Amino acid sequence: MQGGVYDIEVRQHIAHPEDRAQELNPRSTQAFNVNAPRFTLPPGIVHSTYPPQGLGDHNNVLPHMVFNDPHLPWEQEGSPKQEIADAEERNKPDGQEPRNIVPWVALLTFTEDELKLDPKDLKKRSQGGLFPEEAQIPSKSEPAPIDREQDKATFAVQLTMGEYLEMGGDDGSAKPPAATVAIPIRDDEEDAKIDRSTQVSVIFPTPKYARDLFASYGDDGARKPDVEKNEDGKVVKVNSPDLSRYAYLAHVRNVNTKNIANAGLDDNGLYSIVHAHRSGPLDLKTAKPVVVHLVSLEGVEENLKFPLDDKKRVALVSLYSWTYLCLPPDEVNFVDSMRHIGFSIEDNKCWLRTTDEVIAKLSNPINVGKPPSELTARLAKRMEDGFCLQRYMLHTGEETMAFYRGPLTPCWVSPVTESWWPFQSNFSTDYQVLDRGVGVMDITYSAAWQLGRTLGIANQAFTAALVRLRASIQTTGRRDALKKLAPQNVNSKAETLASVRSSLDVVGALGASDLLGKPHSRLHAKHSIVDPRRPLVFRRSGNESHASSQTVLKSLVQNRIAVAATRAGSAQGTGPSLAPSGSDEVFIPFNDINVPNNTDWQLVQSWILDNMFLKNIPAHYLLPDPSYLPPETIRFFYIDNNWMDAFIDGALSIGNHLNRADDVVRQSFKRNLNRYFETTLHDKKGSPLNYHPQIPCFGFLLRSAVVKAFPDLQIRAPWAARDGMSTSKFPFGQLWVSRNGVSPCDKP
């Protein structure tokens, strides 16, 4: 339903079964208003434009806009002529509902000379200009200019609707001033009065161009004259503006948003698209700026009268505008840019590291015939592996240098399994590695640990959930340990029955005492209290010796804490059990498809997985040196699992007050994550999905103006069918676009 005021009428017929004279036909009418955009677009309604703002393309491209609302171009009446013709067709006996409706907006392209006003036109009406005497919108320039200002890029002028109507000869008074421009919008509808304080952007195309925009065309494609005359020169017909051709320049498209970078949860794939009817200039020798305006067609057919006055410009309300460069045929465009990037890929020269020239200077000796020193060779190997030298300040305040490499590496880094690797730590310095060959500290994993802890603390929801989870697991584990020990402090069933029998004997003895109150002689018998508790012994595999009581209690508490942490990281329902052998409990790893046992673990796991997809990692950690990714290049990388392990360990260290060996909760969290990665995913019904959770391990970085120009880049990288490799994996892990024209894509 198009915007405007409508009347809804309700009729009711009431008839008496015997007396027809008492029939009633009451009716009620209610007016209601359908709100729709008129002079401005709603926020966030524009999805994208092409060619993009400030960039260029050839003159064989029609500019177009994509809207998030699939109904926007038809929410107002565009062509009254078309509406009348459609109504006549609809009312025919065999008539059908028309499918092509003229939109109320049109996308128009202009060059500078078609929009730019002369300086004298920007003056007041009293000074021979086009504009009212007083500007109702304050100027943003200091000091304020005397004349009106035209935007230097789009050539639009900011006005109020009151000023706009006054320029067209309608100031709301009984004696309106003469019109200085031709305006299609009028304030002559009583039920849709215009708020004259509404601010709008207005453009002023030349009368010649306005005729071309709104002229009538015959079936042969020839333009009809504004005024048709007979052989005697008498006016036979005056043709009015015709907008019927704009019905073919807007349509709705349902797009599959899968694999599109900027497509999020809000993108449903249904968009409306409006095309311009004219490309850029065809006779170009050099690049030329082109201005694109989305204008309102309201009132064009009703209020613009042909022939137009050659001395009056036409004032159109602009709803949106941008500029781009129209390129000559020999200029580079999108296709050429992508081909250039593709041709630049060479074996062993497209990895994310410093340039080959720098590595060559370190690898090749300066003096011919003299091999490089061991130190130089070691530095060259470090540079080849993606390291760079960073300024590093020690805890003592001394400034030195250190090696650093981010999570993106030019070579595959195998997991560290040596004993020196701190699989769990409370300090980032434990992850520092001294390169003895160079004498320089490697702070790669130390920085990763510290970054994980810093980002975790910065995220209040993650920190709160982790602290609550730790406290809950510690409390549950200790309570379970006490329950395990409790049976040792309580009498068994046989001992309880024997105690009851003894109590009955005592009561009987009290009853057998003499009247003087002398108790029975049995009451003076000496009782020996036997401790009913049995010694508790824990046996370790391969060790038959008895553990001390402190060690026993500590082991029991840690065991129950680990079980509680595993339970917190599991899900409800049925599925493959991850419980320890001999346990009756069923532990199903939470995987975002099933229902979690603990919502805090859901949040913690989600945050960790997002960072494993490099979602929140700052750019200067990913790219330690800008030279790693020159402009208009693509660089490939692997993801260092050791870096991610240190990052996760730093994040999970929040809220811990124990020694690293005693932090059972953190160990259990890592086991939960490993179980999640190792378990085949199941749907809500418990049926296997035949693939494991996918974590990215390699990808690429693309730095190009194309990324900024095309935020909806679609990248396809299907798995090749090879022996022993599953092709059921998802094509890629994550793709996003940054503002500086860098597009990272990582793949599991």
Lowest mean pLDDT across 182-186, 522-526, 708-712:
522-526
Predicted confidence at residue 308, as pLDDT, reads: 85
Give me the amino acid identity at 691: Y
670: which residues sit within 8 A by CB, 6+ positions away?
648, 649, 652
Neighbours of 746 (CB within 10 A): 24
- Top pLDDT among 187 and 533 is at 187
Residues 456-513: tens digit of each pLDDT: 999 999 999 999 999 999 888 888 888 777 655 555 566 566 666 655 654 555 444 4
Distance CA 111, CA 290 (A): 5
Looking at per-residue pLDDT, the higher value among 715 and 393 belongs to 393
Higher pLDDT, 296 or 226: 296
Q: Across 178-234, where does the E strand assignment appear?
A: 199-203, 227-229
Structure confidence at residue 307 (pLDDT): 84
Q: What is the mean pLDDT of residues 717-741?
A: 56
Beta-carbon contacts of 39 under 8 Å, excluding residues fewer than 6 positions away, are 161, 198, 200, 296, 317, 319
Is a pLDDT exceeding 70 seen at residue 632? yes
Residue 415: the pLDDT is 87
Q: Decide: residue 661, CB within 10 A, 0-12 exposed, 13-18 middle, 19+ buried.
A: exposed
> Where does the pLDDT of residue 527 fall: very low under 50, low under 70, confident under 90, or very high at 90 and above?
very low
User: Angle 28-31-36 (CA atoms, 0-180°, nearest 5)?
Assistant: 155
Q: How far apart are CA 428 and CA 647, in angstroms?
A: 10
- Mean pLDDT, residues 101-122: 91
**Confidence category of residue 542, pLDDT binned at 50, 70, 90:** very low
Q: Which residues, other chains included, contact 420 with Cβ-Cβ below 8 Å and sequence gap of 6+? A: none
For residue 475, give Cα distances in angstroms to 426, 480, 564, 565. 22, 9, 9, 11
Residue 410 corresponds to which amino acid? P
Token pair of 105 as six digits:
């907006």
546 pLDDT band, cuts 50/70/90, is very low
Q: What pLDDT is stored for residue 330 in this prediction?
A: 67
Q: What is the pLDDT of residues 561-604, one digit of tens each?
A: 888 888 888 887 644 444 444 444 557 778 777 788 888 998 99
Strands (E) across 12-93 are located at: 27-34, 46-50, 56-58, 64-67
Report pLDDT for 337: 77
Q: In DSSP terms, which residues pair with 253 in a beta bridge?
A: 271
Classify the phi-psi angles of 634: left when phi > 0, otherwise alpha if psi is within -120 to 50, otherwise beta: beta
**What pLDDT digit, counting tens, does each position of 641-665 carry?**
999 999 999 999 998 888 878 888 8
625-645 average pLDDT score: 88
CA distances from 65 to 45, 209, 268, 724 (A): 11, 22, 17, 46
Could you write out the three-class secondary structure of 411-475?
CCCCCCCCCCCCCCCCCHHHHCEEECCCCEEECHHHHHHHHHHHHHHHCHHHHHHHHHHHHHHHH
Rounded Cα distance, 51 and 706, in Å: 11
Which of the four pLDDT bands, split at 50, 70 and 90, describes residue 405? very high
Return the half-sphere exposure (C-beta side, CA atoms, 13 A cut-off) of residue 654: 26
Radius of gyration in angstroms for the set of CA atoms belonging to the chain, rounded to a whole number: 40
Task: State the pLDDT at residue 516.
Answer: 36
Per DSSP, 276 falls in state B
Residue 189, pLDDT above cutoff 90: no
Mean pLDDT across 343-369: 74
Mean pLDDT, residues 512-527 taken together: 37
Q: State the DSSP string of 240-261.
A: PP--GGGGGGEEEEE---TTBT
Q: What is the mean pLDDT of the chain?
A: 79
The full DSSP string for 559-617 is HHHHHHHHHHTEEES-S---PPTT-----EE--SSSEES-HHHHHHHHHHHHHHTTSS-
Q: Residue 701's pLDDT is what?
A: 87
- Residue 539's pLDDT band (cuts 50, 70, 90): very low
Contact 442, 402 (CB under 8 A): yes
Across residues 670-680, what is the average pLDDT? 85
CB within 8 A of 52, min separation 6: which ones?
322, 324, 708, 709, 710
Q: What is the pLDDT of residue 46?
A: 92
How do 27-34 and 4-11 pair as beta strands? Answer: antiparallel
Do 652 and 670 touch, CB atoms closer than 8 A? yes
Q: pLDDT band for 258, please (50, 70, 90 cuts).
A: low
Instruction: Determine how many CB atoms are found less than 10 A away from the CB of residue 194.
Output: 18
**pLDDT per position as a tens digit, 136-170:** 887 776 666 778 888 889 999 999 999 999 998 88
Q: What is the pLDDT of residue 314?
A: 92
Q: Which of 234, 232, 182 is nearest to 207 (CA)?
A: 182
Q: Would strands 399-404 and 440-442 be described as parallel, antiparallel, or unpaired?
A: parallel
Q: What is the residue type of 98?
A: P
Residue 715 has a pLDDT of 72
| pLDDT at 463 (0 to 100) | 93
pTM, rounded to two decimals: 0.56
Rounded to whole angstroms, the Cα distance separating 444 from 79 reads 66
Least confident of 61-65, 346-350, 540-544: 540-544
DSSP string, 147-169: S----TTT--EEEEHHHHHHHTT
Checking if the pLDDT of 411 tops 50, the result is: yes
Over residues 259-284, the pLDDT tens digits come to 565 555 455 678 999 999 988 888 88
Would you say residue 517 has pLDDT above 50?
A: no
**Of residues 689 and 657, more confidently modeled:** 657
Does the bond joining 138 to the residue before it have cis omega, within 30 degrees of 0? no
- The reported pLDDT for the residue numbered 577 is 47
pLDDT class of 720 with cuts at 50, 70, 90: low
For residue 182, the 8-state DSSP code is B
